[in-house]
Structure 1
Amino acid sequence: MTTNSGRSTLRATVVGLAVAALASAGAVSTVARTTSAEAAAPVNVLAAAVEDEGADCPLPSGTPASNSRLPDPFRKSNGTRITSKADWRCLRAETKEYAERTIYGQKPAKPATVTGTVSNSNITVNVSDQGRSAGFSASVQLPTTGSAPYPAVFVVGGFGADTATIRAAGAAVINYDPLAVGREGTPRNNKQGAFYSIYGASNSTGILMAWAWGVSRLIDVIEQSGGSILRADATGVTGCSRYGKGAFAVGVFDQRIALTMPIESGTAGVPALRSVAQEGGAQPLSSAYGEQPWLGDAFSSYTGNPNGLPVDMHQMVGMVAPRGLFIMENPHVDWLGATSGSVAALGGAEVYKALGAGDNITYWSDVADGTHCASRSEWRTPLQQNIQKFLLKTGNTAGTFRISSRKAGNLSQWRDWQTPTLTDGPTPTTPPTTRPPTTPPTGTPTTPPAGGSCTASMSPGTVWGDRYNTAVTVSGASGWSVVVAVTSPQQITTTWSGSASLSGNGTVLTMRSNGSGNTFGFTTMMNGNSSARPQIRSCTAG
C-alpha cells in the first residue's frame, strides 16, 4: 500500500485526476466537484470529543406538516432556515430528536457507570444504570502495519468492509457482536440483550439504536483506557446488510465516530424512506418494520404514511457531516433500494456542501458484482483513502459520487428546497437559550451565592426523559474555576464550553475557564431523582 502524503497537492488536481479516471472507466456516475468554498474547508476533519455535541440544545417545537417530498434539512422546527454554519449544531440536535421520536427510538445518554478493559485482543464493557447492570465484549485484531496507539474500525456483526484492507492500512478491527446488545428474533414487547436488560424488555427503542448504544459504550471504555493500544479519537464503523443499517445508525448518533461506512444497508438503512415506498422491488417499509424490531415501535405509525415523517434518511446522512462518510451500495439487488439510497446520499451531500465539507462524503454503487455483501475491488482504493484521511490523518483525497445507471436517483424530483450559502460566523461559545423545562428539578436556583471574587448564576435548561440541562454564567472574572454539585443518585454526564473534571462518581463538577467565554453548561442524569437540584459550591477567580 502506498500512503498518500501529498498534502500540498492542489485539490483541483486531485479532483481532475478523479474525473479523468472515471471518464476512462466509462462509468455512469455523478462526480462530487469541489467548489471554491469547499476548497477552503479543512481536510482530515476530526471527530467530536463528545457523543452528542447538541445535548444542551432546545427540543424541537411542534411537528412539521406532512410532506410528500424530502423535508428541508436546513429548516428549524420554528419554520426559519439556518443562515450560518454555527446554526447547524442545534438544528442537527432537532433532527436527532425527531429521528428518535419517529424512526429509531431514544438513545439514552451515557449510563451512570461504564467500566471495562482494553487489551491487544479484547474489549470488555460493564454498564450500570437505573439500578440495573449488563456487560458485553468485542474482539480486537491489531493492524499489520503501524504502531500503537492504533485507530480502529468497528465491524458490526463481523460483516462489513474488507478487514484485510482495513488492517493493512494501519487500523485495528474491532469485531462487535450487536446481538449481545440487541437480539434479533424477539417480539417487540420482550426485546433481549444488554441494552434491554438495563432499559427494559418492553422499551420502545429499536435494536438498531441499541446496537449504536453498544458501540458508544465501547468507545467510552477506549477513552478511559488511556489510549496506549487504541485511539478513541480515530474510530470508524462498517457493516453490511442488516449490519449496514446498524453501522449507519452508529455513525449518525455518535459524533465521536470519525468515519462511517455502511454497505448495502437497504430499507431502514441509508435509502430515503419516502422514495423506498415508491421504488419497485425495494423492501417495503412495513416489511422492514416487521422483519425484526430494527426500528423503534413508534415507526409503526409511518409504515403506510412516510409523508408524515418529520425527517427522512437524507437528514441522517447530513447528521454525519462534516465527518467522513463512505456509502457503498449494490444496484443489482432490487430489494436493497439503491435508487432510494442515492436519493438520500445526494440530499445529505447538500448538507456537507453547505458546511464546506463536500469532500468528506463518498457514494459508490457502480459495481460489477451483484453478489450481496461481496468484497469488491471497486471499493478497495476508496476504502484505503478514507482510512488514510479520517483515521490516520495522512490523506486528503476528495470524496466522489459514482452512481450506477441501474439505480440512479433524481434529487430534483424529491426536493422543493435549495441549499443555502451558510456564513462562517463564529461558533457560539455559550449554549443557545433553551425554552423553559416541562418539569424542572424543584427549586433550581437562578442566582447561587458568589464565591471568591467572581459570581456564578445558574439557569435551568431543557428537561426531557431522564435528564436535564443547566447553564452557568460567570461574572466578575475572565479566568475562573466553578465547582457545581448534584445530589446522588443524580450524575453529571456531559459538559460544554469549559475545561471539566468530574469526581464523586459524577456528582461534583469542577469547570475551569478555557478562554471560550463566561458561560458553560452540563447535562445531569436524574437516575430516578427528579426533585434534587444542582448547587454551586464555589466560584474562584484566577
Structure 2
Amino acid sequence: MRGSRIRSAVVLAAVTLLALAGVVTMASGAAAAVEDDGADCPVSVPASWPATAKLPDPFKRIDGTRVTNRSDWRCRREEIKKLAERTVYGTKPAKPAGVAGTVSATGITVTVTENGRSASFSAGVELPSGTGPFPAVFVVGGFGADTATIKASGAAVITYDPLAVGKEGTPRNNKQGAFYSIYGATSGTGLLAAWAWGVSRLIDVVEQSGGRFLKADALGVTGCSRYGKSAFAIGALDQRIALTMPIESGTAGVPILRGIPGESGSQPLGNAYGEQPWFGDAFSAYTGNPAALPVDTHELVAMVAPRGLFVMENPHIDWLGARSGSVAALAGAEVYKALGAGGNISYWSDVQDGTHCASRPEWRTPLQQNIQKFLLKTGSAAGTFRISGKKAGNLAEWRDWTTPVLTDGPDTTTPTTPTTPPPTGTCTASVSVNQWTGGSAAITGWTVTAVLPAGAAVTSAWNTGRSGDTGTGTTATCV
C-alpha cells in the first residue's frame, strides 16, 4: 500500500500506522497532571442503580446518556471514581489543608494537618546511578518488584510502607495508622484508599521540593499481592501517577469482581473482605452479589487511561483470579483505545514460573520499555497483551455494550480488541488514527507512506522498519 495520506486536520495529537504485523505511533505531549482532574465535575450519585450480571458500560453516564467526545471522559471518569468510592473503596479525601515535608537522596518525610489533627510518615529513597533529578517508582510494601531493573533503567525507587498509613490486622471499627489518626478510627474508608491517600501526600511533598532529587511529573507505582491491590488503587485514584504496574493483585485488585464467584479457586469476595479491611466498609453489601455493583474493576482500569498501565498476573495460582484479571484489562483497553491511547496499556500473564511475587524474566523487557516511555520519556514501545492460555478470559461473555467512536481528537476509526503480537509471515496494512484496526486482505509485504503535519512525529514501531520520523515520505514497511 503506497501513497496513503493522513490529513493534518484529522491528526491533532497522535497518528498510528497499523498493520497486523506492525505498528507505528505518533504522539504529542500532554498537560501536567493533577491528583483529580475531574474534581470540579458535578456528580450526583443516585440512591440506587439497576443490577447487571454484565460489566457496566464505562461510556454510560449516570444519567443514562453515553460519552460521545473525548472531552466527556474527564467528568465520566469522576463519576466512576465517586461510584467506586461509594461502593468499593470508601472515600479518599482530597489534599488536606496542611502538607509539609522533605525530600533527600535517601528519603521523604511528610506531616499532614487537617481539622486540628496531624500525622507523620516517611518513605525511603534509593537513587540510580547518574545525575538527577530522577523519575521514580513507588514500591509498595518493598517486595515483589524488580527493583534492580527499575534502577538500572534510570528510575529511583521509593520504598513505601503502607502499614504506617493504615495498619492491617485491625477491626473495621478501630482502624489504625496515619490516615485514621486524621479521619477517625471508624472511617468507612478501606486500607486501599487510605494507602492511596498516603502516596498522594508523598507526591505533594515531592512537588513542593523543587525537583532537586526526584521528578514530580515522572512517577510510577508498583507492588505485588496485597500491595499489587494497593498499586492499582493508587494509580486509579491519583492522576499524577504516570505509570501504574500492579503485580499478581488478585481479588480486590485488577480482576473483575463479577468474575470472581465463577472462577474456580479464586479468593472469594467475602473472604477478601474479611481477611483485612482492604475494601471500604460499604462493600459488605456486595460480597454475595457483585452484580449489584454500579462499577467493576474494568472501569478502574479505565480510570488510569490514558496514562501508562502494565498489569502483571500469575495464571498458575488459582487464588489470584487471573482469568477475571484478563477480562478487566481487555474491557478497560476499550476505553484506552477510544481515547486514542491503545498503545499505553500492557497486560502480561504468559509466564512460566508459578511462584507468587517472583521476579520474572518475561516481564523485564516490558518493564524497561514502560519506564522508558512513561517516566524517562525516551522510549516509544507500543503496549503488549500476552494472555496465558491457562487463564484467558472472554470479553464477549461479559459485555453488552459497544465502544463508541469519540468525535473530538485524532481518532476516527472503530476500535478493536488488543491481542498478542501476531506471528511473522503474511500481514495486512491500513492507515488509521491511533487505533489498533485491521486493513486490506493479507499480502506478503507492504509499505505505508504518510505525510505528517507539523508537530507530529513517529515515536514507535512494532515489528516494522521505518524510514524517517517526520515530514513527507515517512514510511513503515513489513517484509
Which residue of the other structure, out of 117, 131, 140, is the alignment partner of 2:102?
117
Q: Is the 8 A contact 1:212 1:249 kept in 2?
A: yes
Q: Is the 8 A contact 1:280 1:334 kept in 2?
A: yes
Partner of 1:305: 289
CA distance in 2, matches of 1:404, 1:396: 25
Q: Give 1:160 deviation, angstroms.
A: 3.5
SS of structure 2 residue aligned to 1:273: coil
Q: Give 1:290 deviation, angstroms.
A: 0.4
Q: Give 1:406 deviation, angstroms.
A: 0.1
SS of structure 1 residue aligned to 2:221: strand
CA distance in 1, matches of 2:18, 2:380: 12
Q: Identity over aligned residues, as a percent?
A: 72
Q: Give 1:40 deviation, angstroms.
A: 6.2
CA distance in 2, matches of 1:126, 1:160: 28
Q: Which one scores higher on RCO, CA 8 angstroms, separation ≥ 6?
A: 2
Partner of 2:381: 397
Kindly report which structure 2 residues correspond to 1:177-196, keeping only aligned pairs within 5 A, or say none.
Answer: 177-196=161-180
Q: Is the 8 A contact 2:16 2:25 kept in 1?
A: no
Q: Is the 8 A contact 1:365 1:403 kept in 2?
A: yes
Partner of 1:16: 21
**1:269 to 2:253 alignment:** yes
CA distance in 2, matches of 1:277, 1:223: 42
**1:148 to 2:132 alignment:** yes
RMSD: 1.6
CA distance in 1, matches of 2:151, 2:199: 19
**1:208 to 2:192 alignment:** yes
Query: What are the superposed Cα offsets for residues 207-240 of structure 1, whole Å, 9 maximum, x if unpaired?
Result: 0100000000000000000001100000000000
Letter in 2 for 1:281: G
SS of structure 2 residue aligned to 1:188: coil
Partner of 2:87: 102
Partner of 1:70: 55
Which residue of the other structure, out of 314, 326, 351, is the alignment partner of 1:330?
314
User: How many residues get paired?
Assistant: 395
Q: Give 1:50 deviation, angstroms.
A: 1.0
Q: Give 1:194 deviation, angstroms.
A: 0.2
Q: Give 1:59 deviation, angstroms.
A: 1.1
Letter in 1 for 2:27: P
Q: Give 1:423 deviation, angstroms.
A: 1.1
CA distance in 1, matches of 2:21, 2:160: 38
Q: In the superposition, relative to structure 1, how do residues 372 and 47 fare at CA in structure 2: closer, same or farther (>3 Å)?
A: farther
Kindly report which structure 2 residues correspond to 1:83-482, keeping only aligned pairs within 5 A, or say none.
Answer: 83-144=68-129, 146-424=130-408
Query: What are the superposed Cα offsets for residues 373-416 of structure 1, whole Å, 9 maximum, x if unpaired?
Result: 00000000000000000000001100010000000000000000
Query: What are the superposed Cα offsets for residues 73-131 of structure 1, whole Å, 9 maximum, x if unpaired?
Result: 00000000010000000000000000000000000010000000000001000000011
Q: Give 1:340 deviation, angstroms.
A: 0.1
CA distance in 2, matches of 1:218, 1:347: 31
Q: Give 1:46 deviation, angstroms.
A: 4.7
CA distance in 1, matches of 2:291, 2:32: 32
Runs of 4+ in structure 1 displaced over 4 angstroms?
10-15, 45-48
Query: What are the superposed Cα offsets for residues 340-385 of structure 1, whole Å, 9 maximum, x if unpaired?
Result: 0000000000000000000000000000000000000000000000
Letter in 2 for 1:307: A
What's the TM-score once normalised by structure 2's chain length? 0.80
CA distance in 2, matches of 1:141, 1:16: 39
Q: In the superposition, relative to structure 1, how do residues 72 and 56 fare at CA in structure 2: closer, same or farther (>3 Å)?
A: same
Q: Is the 8 A contact 1:156 1:178 kept in 2?
A: yes
Extract unaligned runs of 5+ from structure 1.
Answer: 1-9, 18-33, 427-542
Q: Is the 8 A contact 1:105 1:297 kept in 2?
A: yes
Partner of 1:535: none
Q: Give 1:424 deviation, angstroms.
A: 1.4
Query: What are the superposed Cα offsets for residues 30-78 of structure 1, whole Å, 9 maximum, x if unpaired?
Result: xxxx6xxxx66626x6575210000000113424310000000000000
CA distance in 2, matches of 1:160, 1:80: 42
Q: Is the 8 A contact 1:114 1:125 kept in 2?
A: yes
CA distance in 1, matches of 2:241, 2:294: 25
Letter in 2 for 1:274: R
Q: Give 1:159 deviation, angstroms.
A: 1.6
Which residue of the other structure, out of 38, 53, 71, is the alignment partner of 1:54?
38
CA distance in 1, matches of 2:272, 2:76: 28
CA distance in 1, matches of 2:91, 2:19: 41
SS of structure 2 residue aligned to 1:307: helix
